[in-house]
Amino acid sequence: MILDPKYIVISPKQPYFVMATSRYYKAVVMNYGISHFYCFQRDGTTENPIVAVPDGCFDILFFCDEKEPCAYVCGTVLHPKSTLNTKNKCFFGVRFLPGSSFKFKNVTMSDLVEQEIPFLEIIEDKDLFEQITSSKDFNYQIQIFMDKYLKFYNYSEATSKHKDLRKFIMRNIMETAGQIRVKELADVTGYSVRYINKMFSEQFGLSPKVFCKLMRFQYLLNNLNDCKKEIFHTNLTELAMELGYYDQSHMIKDFYEFTNTTPGKYIHSLQETEYKKRLIII
């Protein structure tokens, strides 16, 4: 049995970020609404393009460049999208957990979907911007960000009228790897389908149906990343059934929609680029 609620942790993956650089550093948090911090440099050692895939998250991404520093708040994409393909740039990023929701100035969560909005237009903290973009010390950048962020996070949690409902719904979605219908969410919470749809869209910028589809894809991605090529084809049908796809063809079609490739070709790319050697978890 692949699915077991005790072991399902959907850690959002952007595998093409890793494949497009010789070293991709990652510091896992999985708390305070943050999945992990990451940093990498586009130094010209690889020609692989950076492609963002749907993950139901938003990132804050800093370009640590002495001459032209900049930063963006980037919402989830809904289809694969080429991005960040500038050489000789150092990046520091924060990837938030799927379903993290915050109140930004003049910007809703739906405004972020498939968008990259300048950091200082949303978070007017020039001091934080300058301290992070002027450094290339990963641990220092993390510390600086967390010192400022925790105050914002605690305030956001304290003032959220939907905090408990949001967490309950998110836990149900994660425990089923996205295999839950809106009607089921309504039944377990005692709210109407209409209310769940409305609240979810306001809080996360996506409908629960779309979000669940993205979580199922991300869970599939997590499984493929840990899959050995030799047993890939043996497990593919079982994996499709466990994830609630109609059949293997349905799963491949969904995967292609979100990556522009097939699971088999994706596994080959992981092997060819030596994905696990490029990913350095600290």
What is the CATH classification number for the domain harbouring 172?
1.10.10.60
Highest mean pLDDT among 31-45, 137-151, 153-167: 137-151
In this structure, the answer to whether residues 20 and 155 fall within a common structural domain is yes
Instruction: Tell whether 123 and 199 lie within a shared domain.
Output: no
Count the neighbouring beta carbons within 10 Å of the beta carbon of residue 238. 12
Q: What is the pLDDT of residue 89?
A: 80
Give the helix ranges, DSSP H, for 134-278. 138-159, 163-175, 182-189, 193-204, 208-225, 232-242, 248-259, 263-272, 275-278
pLDDT for 47: 74
Domain C-terminal end among 114, 144, 159: 159
Q: 210 is written with which tokens?
A: 């779309």
Please name the helix (run of DSSP H) or strand (run of DSSP E) that holds residue 36, with its range, or none.
Answer: strand 34-42
Whether 2 has a pLDDT exceeding 80, the answer reads no
| pLDDT of 104 over the 90 cut | no
pTM equals: 0.91
In a domain, 107, yes or no: yes
Written as six digits, the tokens of 163 are: 């905090």
Read off the pLDDT of each residue in 113-127 and give the average, rounded to a whole number: 94
57/82 same-domain check: yes
Residue 6 has pLDDT above 60, yes or no: no
Q: State which of 121, 136, 159 marks the end of a domain.
A: 159
Query: Mean pLDDT across the chain, nearest whole number?
Result: 89
Residue 1: per-residue pLDDT: 33
Query: What digits encode the pLDDT tens for the residues 231-282?
Result: 556 677 888 888 888 888 999 999 999 999 999 899 999 999 999 999 999 9
Q: Is the pLDDT of residue 222 over 50?
A: yes
Q: What digits encode the pLDDT tens for the residues 156-182?
A: 888 877 888 988 999 999 999 999 999
8, pLDDT greater than 70: no
Domain span at residue 87 reads 15-159
Answer whether residue 67 shows pLDDT above 70: yes
